[in-house]
Amino acid sequence: QKEVEQNSGPLSVPEGAIASLNCTYSDRGSQSFFWYRQYSGKSPELIMFIYSNGDKEDGRFTAQLNKASQYVSLLIRDSQPSDSATYLCAVGAGNNNDMRFGAGTRLTVKP
């Protein structure tokens, strides 16, 4: 079982719609959760992090965490073509808070 799992996609949504990206993790002791965006050929850039159960909103982005279900999601409202990228879920776990990355979900927003 992979430590951090994401649907590889591609996920395609029309411009203006809500994109929903999901991530599950195996280590129940995980404490920190991150979403990175990676454009093709570029390095990842941090979008959001969340530590507590519930929702965290930042502009058009909302991260949702459910530790009981070991599930974290990212919602992108009013999706724009510029949001088209691969979204990486990362989870901090273990004594050293080791970061574990999912393989990423490729999102395409169609004009």
Partner 1 sequence: DGGITQSPKYLFRKEGQNVTLSCEQNLNHDAMYWYRQDPGQGLRLIYYSQIVNDFQKGDIAEGYSVSREKKESFPLTVTSAQKNPTAFYLCATARVFGANVLTFGAGSRLTVL
Near partner 1 in 36-55, by CB under 8 A: 42-46, 49
Least distance in angstroms from the C-beta of 104 to partner 1: 7
Give the one residue of 24, 37, 79, 102 binding partner 1; rule: CB under 8 A.
Answer: 102
How many helices (H) and strands (E) in the chain? 0, 11
Instruction: Assess 90 for contact with partner 1 (CB under 8 A).
Output: yes
Least distance in angstroms from the C-beta of 86 to partner 1: 10
Give me 55's structure tokens: 């929702």
**Pick from 45, 52, 55, 53: nearest CA to 20:** 55
Number of residues binding to partner 1, judged by CB under 8 A = 22
Binding footprint of partner 1 on the chain (CB under 8 A):
4, 8, 32, 34, 42-46, 49, 88, 90, 92, 96-104
